[in-house]
Amino acid sequence: MSTVRQRTQELLRHHDMRVIFGNPGSTELPFLAELPEDFTYVLALNEATATAMADGYAQATGKPTVVNLHTSTGLGNAMGSLVNAAGARSPVVALAGQQVRAALPTPSLLVNRHPMALAQGAAKHTAEPARAEDTPAVLGQAILRAGQAPAGPVCVSVPMDDWEQHVDAPAGGTSHRSRTSDSVPAPGALDVLAAQLTQARAPALIAGPELDTEAGYAATVALAERLDAPVWLPAFGPRAGFPSAHIAARGPLPSSADGVAEALEGHDLVLALGAPVFTYYQWTGGPAAAPGTRVVHVTSDPEEAARAVTGTSWLGSPVAAAEALCRSLAGSKVRRRDRLAPRMPSVRTDEEAAPATDGTLRDVEIFTELAKVLPDEGIVVNEAAQQLPAYWQSAAFSRPGSYYFTGAGGLGFGLAGGVGIQLAKPGRPVVAVIGDGSIQYTLQALWTAAQYRVPLTVLVLDNSEYGILKNWGRTLGTGPLPGLDLPGVDIMGLASAYGVKARQARSADQLKTLLTESIAAPEPNLIHIPLAS
């Protein structure tokens, strides 16, 4: 017989889940005891940071990833990051501690009275084993659920005295099952859609984050080229489902109904593959699509289908659907269309385009220099939401897994998620672009990067304010608002205190030099950039 802990270690090894992120508390210590040498424990300094690291690692690997959390308060600390993981459909497995079983009916300290209810706001599945010997099976089921489409975080709470209990081998190896494959939309429905695409005068595609794989890129590129169709990304998508360097790429859609309708106007058939229909930030209440624009939606997520504001939704794997459509269209005569023209950059005024002259940099200068220096295999984690339009002007990646953004719009993913992504992809340089406000949410991730020598490059765009909120306030017509200025934060001093080398760039030439050096360095570096107003 083996202990529950040993059976769980075998389970995690079976699923190749030997990297564990966490910030240990007393209820986790029995789980961490006798951790095998082939496991790696990545220490973060709080649970939100640990969970965001696990989120980045899970997205970058495409595999379920464990984050070990303290009981109720630790799980509570992690909830914001779990919400982001849910938004990114990231298969994070939150393994939460719990008081010993005998204490659960009492007012003892560290009892999580509602472990499943606490996590249900973000997790697609929650559980606490009824008996100690059920733990491996319950955790095994949770791992399968985390990875099944639509992927997402799960949470399992385990009383701390369960780990030492003895358990027989599971009947039939139920906890070691492999994940099931994605479902495919009905062939008849895809035949109808293929015929509609063949006859469409001006089709367009929207590529969601589920297509951010080798197979997804190949299928969507082939489909876009076959149809001569432009391809948009959803607004604020956590990953990019289409290569921005491709001639068909149009970047993200606007985040208002009016903007989306205008962008897609003139297209008689729009196929959204694994993308929400639609992601709005500014609610304008206008029509979801212009007259004459029909939207068809393929998604693996029933809730995403139910929430679509227009069009017809079909359930199934967007990647499988794109592949099947390519096969169907291969022998069809597609209606003749004009060839695609390259994406035109956004027009900026002379004042916006001119370099700053006061020792600051404009956002367009920053991303232009980054595009010059970043190699083809480079990865950008961008949590500078206000500067996203400038980023997309110069973004030119061709490989999947090259772009990440916070899954639910919550701050805190960029820095910690960047650490997790760099750990998952040690052969690809990662640059995390973060605002001076958002870096404060998981600032402790700098310590982890320094201690584990994670060669992450961090660009901090510093305007000493919550600039996006000031812009939003102007849109809402609120007038002056409190709490939107951030004076007196020594970003470089904070980085140095955590052991990360920090330097400042006040010109495009300085930034280019520092980026070149940092991307090639074997340890983390932070580049502080005073941002032009």
* pLDDT at position 467: 85
What is the distance between the alpha carbons of residues 212 and 467, in angstroms, rounded to a whole number? Answer: 30
Tokens 């916006």, residue?
Answer: 352
What is the second-level CATH architecture of the domain 187-330?
Answer: 3-Layer(aba) Sandwich (3.40)
CB 221 within 8 A of CB 245: no
Predicted model pTM: 0.94
* pLDDT at position 282: 83
* pLDDT at position 351: 55
Strands 379-382 and 249-252, by their bridges, are unpaired
What tokens does 311 get? Answer: 């069009």
Per-residue pLDDT tens digits of the chain, which is 533 residues long? 799 999 999 999 999 999 999 999 999 999 999 999 999 999 999 999 999 999 999 999 999 999 999 999 999 999 999 999 999 999 999 999 999 999 999 999 999 998 889 999 899 999 999 999 999 999 999 999 999 999 999 999 999 999 999 988 765 455 566 655 567 778 888 999 999 999 999 999 999 999 999 999 999 999 999 999 999 999 999 999 999 999 999 999 999 999 999 999 999 999 999 999 999 998 888 899 999 999 999 999 999 999 999 999 999 999 999 999 999 998 776 665 555 665 554 545 555 556 766 789 999 999 999 999 999 999 999 999 999 999 999 999 999 999 999 999 999 999 999 999 999 999 999 999 999 999 999 999 999 999 999 999 999 999 988 888 888 888 888 888 899 998 999 999 999 999 999 999 999 999 999 999 999 999 999 999 999 97
Q: Bridge-partner residues for 155, per DSSP?
A: 94, 126
Among 74, 25, 26, which residue's Cα sits nearest to residue 48? 74
Return the domain boundaries, the chain: 2-176, 187-330, 350-530
* pLDDT at position 345: 47
CA dihedral of residues 459, 461, 466, 472 (deg, nearest 10): -100
* pLDDT at position 180: 57
What is the distance between the alpha carbons of residues 495 and 458, in angstroms, rounded to a whole number? Answer: 10
Question: What CA–CA distances, in Å, run from 152 to 5, 12, 78, 278?
Answer: 24, 18, 15, 20
Q: Does domain 2-176 have CATH number 3.30.1370.30?
A: no
In the three-class reduction of DSSP (H, G, I as helix; E, B as strand; rest coil), residue 490 is classed as: coil
What is the second-level CATH architecture of the domain 350-530?
Answer: 3-Layer(aba) Sandwich (3.40)
